């Protein structure tokens, strides 16, 4: 083997695995129209989600949206420090796999664009434990609704793209994996106590959710603005609820 070939082989052998946050977002929503662009603390919701996820210290941060949303989201993604890729509106699994291929991702943290209070610290802890176990799919149980992410191996998602046929498996990305424990290594632990709050709701799906999100955002700002810190979000939620 020549020297160039040896060096190329060594580069591939020692290449650090690429881990990325991949955020899915869109504009059309049946229950709350164009919620991604609704203002939250003076910035669009989708920007606030990216702002929180940027606090997860991984190799890349990518916004994966339908092709017809790229021109709308591009400036927000650039300002938040995210790459952007367009893809299918309905086949979200294919959209994720396009990001995997374009950015040479080995492991990813899957997040959704309606969760501006996503726990960045819990996301990092989940990914680290999933990576250490070699899990194909991981997700915490017991978090507030809208605070969590999924940690997934790229190879498992690429297999799902090849084999998944059910529409809900294409739309919701990960069901093909967690419905098949005989094929994939699943890691679904109860979240650490400090992040638990399954009775709490911090997503934005309805007009009522949005009104509550504005109150929660203000409560977090008044407490120092640690909007992606799980314990801080839970504490602010409970303060705001007590004062309502």
Look up the CATH number of the domain holding residue 234: 3.90.550.10
Contact 73, 84 (CB under 8 A): yes
User: What SS3 state is found at 128?
Assistant: helix
Residue 111, domain member (yes or no): yes
Statement: the pTM of the whole predicted model exceeds 0.85: yes
Domain that residue 66 falls in: 16-242
Residue 2, domain member (yes or no): no
pLDDT string in tens for the chain (244-residue length): 444 444 443 344 446 789 999 999 999 888 899 999 999 999 999 999 999 999 999 999 999 999 999 999 999 999 999 999 999 999 999 999 999 999 999 999 999 999 999 999 999 999 999 999 999 999 999 999 999 999 999 999 999 999 999 999 999 999 999 999 999 999 999 999 999 999 999 999 999 999 999 999 999 998 777 888 999 999 999 999 998 7
Residue 3, domain member (yes or no): no
User: Considering only CA atoms, which of 218, 21, 42 is closest in space to residue 117?
Assistant: 218
Contact 118, 139 (CB under 8 A): no
Q: How many domains does the chain have?
A: 1
Residue 213, domain member (yes or no): yes
Residues 6+ away with beta carbon under 8 Å from 130: 107, 137, 138, 151, 187
Residues written for the chain? 244
Residue 61, domain member (yes or no): yes
Residue 183, domain member (yes or no): yes
């Amino acid at each position: 083997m020549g020297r160039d070939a040896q060096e190329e082989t060594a580069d591939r052998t020692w290449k650090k695995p690429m881990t990325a946050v991949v955020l899915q977002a869109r504009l059309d929503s049946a229950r709350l129209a164009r919620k991604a662009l609704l203002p939250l603390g003076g910035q669009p919701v989708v920007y606030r989600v990216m702002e929180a996820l940027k606090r997860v210290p991984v190799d890349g941060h990518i916004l994966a949206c339908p092709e017809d949303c790229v021109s709308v989201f591009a400036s927000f993604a650039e300002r938040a420090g995210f790459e952007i890729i367009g893809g299918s509106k309905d086949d979200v699994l294919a959209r994720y796999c396009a990001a995997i291929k374009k950015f040479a991702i080995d492991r990813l943290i899957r997040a959704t664009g309606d969760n501006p209070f996503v726990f960045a610290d819990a996301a990092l802890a989940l990914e680290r434990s999933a990576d250490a176990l070699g899990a194909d799919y991981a997700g915490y149980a017991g978090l507030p609704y809208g605070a969590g992410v999924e940690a997934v191996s790229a190879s498992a998602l690429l297999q799902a793209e090849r084999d998944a046929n059910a529409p809900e498996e294409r739309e919701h990305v990960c069901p093909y994996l967690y419905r098949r424990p005989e094929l994939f290594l699943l890691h679904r632990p109860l979240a650490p106590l400090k992040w638990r709050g399954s009775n709490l709701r911090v997503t934005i799906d309805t007009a009522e959710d949005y009104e509550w999100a504005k109150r929660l955002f203000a409560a977090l700002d008044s407490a120092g603005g640690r909007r992606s810190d799980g314990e801080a979000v839970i504490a602010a939620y409970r303060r705001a609820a007590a004062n309502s």
